[in-house]
Amino acid sequence: MAKLDLSLAPAELQSFLSAQRTIRLATATPTGLPHVVPLWFVWVEGTVFMNSTLGNVTIRNLQRNPAATGSIDDGEAYEELRGVLIHGEVERAHDDARLETVKSEWSKKYMRGKPPPYDRWKNRVWLRLVPRRITSWDFRKIPEAKARAARRAEAAGA
């Protein structure tokens, strides 16, 4: 049987990433082991924006090697699982022209409309994960994908 296409369409991807709250960001330790941390994020204009504290393990890992993968998923039962892997490099976003939009979206998503306090906090940094590759899946699409595959197989055999 051919591989089923369970990927999210562009509009589905946008909706999913805008609604989800937590990304698990994987970076590499000095010995190459994965280090994974959950972070809040916002998805603005095709980029993941996060906020963290300077000097922590994640930041030190990124200073050595900015390559990272973010995992965002949801679903309880197998047939409900869906998610996205975002592969790319993490950069500081302090000079990003979209930062005011990011802060506004962050405020709505996490702070009930109040401004994010991070500008007042010592050693906080805005980060952006620029996607080089995005992989997605939505197991809710399995029944329809199987039905399509069966119809194609039937038509090819007819």
Strands (E), 30-156: 34-44, 47-53, 67-74, 82-92, 124-138
- Please indicate, yes or no, if residue 52 is contained in any of the structural domains: yes
- Give pTM, 2 decimals: 0.90
As a whole number of Å, the CA-based R_g of the chain is: 19
User: What domain count does the chain have?
Assistant: 1
Contact 37, 69 (CB under 8 A): no
Q: How far is CA 101 from the centre of its chain?
A: 18
Query: What does the pLDDT read at residue 158?
Result: 61
Contact 130, 91 (CB under 8 A): yes
- Please indicate, yes or no, if residue 1 is contained in any of the structural domains: no
- Please indicate, yes or no, if residue 45 is contained in any of the structural domains: yes
Residue 46, amino acid: G
Its domain, for residue 23, covers: 10-157
pLDDT in tens, 25-60: 999 999 999 999 999 999 999 999 999 999 999 999
Residue 128, domain CATH: 2.30.110.10
Query: What does the pLDDT read at residue 24?
Result: 98
Residue ranges in the chain whose pLDDT is less than 70: 1-2, 158
- Please indicate, yes or no, if residue 5 is contained in any of the structural domains: no
